[in-house]
Amino acid sequence: EVQLVESGGGLVQPGGSLRLSCAASGFTFSSNAMSWVRQAPGKGLEWVSAISGSGGSTYYADSVKGRFSISRDNSKNTLYLQMNSLRAEDTAVYYCAKRGSYSHWYFDLWGRGTLVTVSS
């Protein structure tokens, strides 16, 4: 089955760290660029970060640049998001998503999401 399954969310204090994982199956993971997209409670969608299939190129939203780090392990078919210096405004459901085109960032497969809550 073609799917993405996120894990690693939870409650963390402001200034803390968390690492999210996304396990992929049913497609050739290493051939596909991947992204993280988040959604704050009751709000819209916000792109967070992206990585090429090889892992050699990474991209970040200005709101997380310098605090978050995206990576992947193609031998494990797993995508990661390391989140440091977390703030209350990072509270959201975090989705991993597969890029649907070789050259343009739209997303044709999404995971169910994992909730990150930043609060003291």
Partner 1 sequence: DIQMTQSPSSLSASVGDRVSITCRASQSISSYLNWYQQKPGKAPKLLIYSASSLQSGVPSRFSGSGSGTDFTLTISSLQPEDFATYYCQQSYSTPPTFGGGTKVEIK
Tokens encoding 21: 């994982």
Using DSSP, state whether 16 is helix, strand or coil: coil
Residue pair 84/72 in contact (Cβ under 8 Å)? The answer is no
Distance between CA atoms of residues 2 and 104, nearest Å = 21
> Which CB atom, from 14 or from 72, has the smaller least distance to partner 1?
72
Residue pair 23/1 in contact (Cβ under 8 Å)? The answer is no
- Shortest reach from residue 116's CB to partner 1, in Å: 15
Total of chain residues touching partner 1, rule CB under 8 A: 22
Is 89 a binding residue for partner 1 by CB under 8 A? The answer is no
Could you tell me the sign of the dihedral formed by the alpha carbons of 102, 98, 22, 80, in that order?
Answer: positive
Contact letters (x/-) for partner 1, 92-111, by CB under 8 A? ---x----xx--xxxxx-xx
Judged by CB under 8 A, the chain residues 21 through 60 that form the site for partner 1 are 35, 37, 44-47, 50, 59
The residues binding partner 1 (CB under 8 A) are 35, 37, 44-47, 50, 59, 61-62, 95, 100-101, 104-108, 110-113
